[in-house]
Structure 1
């Protein structure tokens, strides 16, 4: 409860009093599924693609029961619920942490720090900077250069995410810099090694070690606040529900 209380205080001090997260799933209303209703839990929930609509590669089923083509991403098929849920279940550093620490928490902590320094628009970029990992998983940095074509695939998915939520495609340099600096804060959750000395320029954010459920809720809560705060800059583009 202590960690939850601190997290709540951090969120309120950053964004003010916010409404608690309400699921932004256009297949969910009042506690029941609509549109793609499940007759039985064992039955898959998918959308059939017309034969004439050829897509590159194959599709994967997302958390909300949708189809997503990682090699042929489209912004209208990006759903924030899928992103928040997936990232909340993925551990940073390929799981080589002392305790579970999710990509979702990493994204939230980064976004809240950026909000205080550079404003809501930069913070929204920070929150979504790893959103492609919801569809491609969090590949360790040393592995990425050896995966032929991975960077291109990652860039296409990330561009679709940014387009979905009304953001220009280029990630600000301030987000890149903060993403590297937060490693210094995260080292507290790793076994000590000599390379840690290279990351002395920390952001100074506390690592909360939220559970997946806490991380997902904090991610959605932060997303809603930042979307509201940047609506005018983004041209009022809505987010959350799939088209």
Structure 2
């Protein structure tokens, strides 16, 4: 079996994915039920909420890419950064799914620098607000300041609804922008 069954009842073939299988409802649902940091946060905190935070930190023209920057996790799950380094095959699957997400939503394959930077700001804030205290230096966060605001984790239903609404709003904005 090469496929997963999504929340909307679609069969998503992970070996031969098609852009038509990518559904905003599946992304919203799955990311709202995936916990960041492999579940090691003080309380449940979803990838959907993380993506909303990243989108708040980028210029308007990059909001759709920010909302979708972790969309592959809706189909592949989330893998911790250290393990990903040892699993090149996983990275290959991630690249293929990302390509299909980009085709589906008419995004450039390369994420804008502002999304990468916002992702790091979100990570620094998540570390401060949601993770156990750890004196170790996280190399990827050297020179990155967290947001002033404190993260209040959303329940899964709120994360799904909020993320989905923001995604649909952003898709409408992009559609109008390209039609103009």
Q: Same fold (TM over 0.5)?
A: yes
Name which of 201, 211, 233 aligns with 2:155. Answer: 211
- Post-superposition shift, 1:184? 1.1
Q: Secondary structure of the equivalent of 1:195?
A: coil
Work out the CA distance in 1 between the residues paired with 2:174 and 2:155: 28
Q: Per the alignment, in what secondary structure is the counterpart of residue 85 of structure 1?
A: helix
- Could you say if the C-alpha distance between residues 73 and 205 of structure 1 is closer, same or farther in structure 2, counting changes exceeding 3 Å? farther
TM-superposition CA deviations, 1:57-91 (whole Å, max 9, x none): 71111111110012221101111111110110110
**Aligned-CA RMSD value:** 1.7
Structure 1: 5+ residue stretches without partners: 1-56, 237-243
Gaps of 5+ in 2: none
Distance 1:124 1:225, change over 3 A: same
User: 1:170-201: CA deviations, max 9, x gaps?
Assistant: 21111111111211111211111013576451
| Equivalent residue, structure 2, for 1:222 | 166
Distance of 2:176 and 2:8 partners within structure 1: 29
Q: How many residues align?
A: 175
More helix by share: 2
1:166 to 1:136, Cα distance in 2 relative to 1, 3 A: same
1:112 maps to which of 24, 35, 56: 56
Deviations 1:93-138 (A, max 9, x none): 0000101000010001111222xxx11x301100000000001101
- Other-structure match for 1:163: 103
The DSSP-based 3-state class of the residue aligned with 1:65 is coil
| TM-score, normalisation: structure 1 | 0.68
Decide which structure has the larger Cα Rg and report it: 1
- Between the aligned partners of 1:183 and 1:197, the Cα distance in structure 2 is 10
Structure 1 segments, 4+ long, off by >3 Å, are 196-200, 203-206
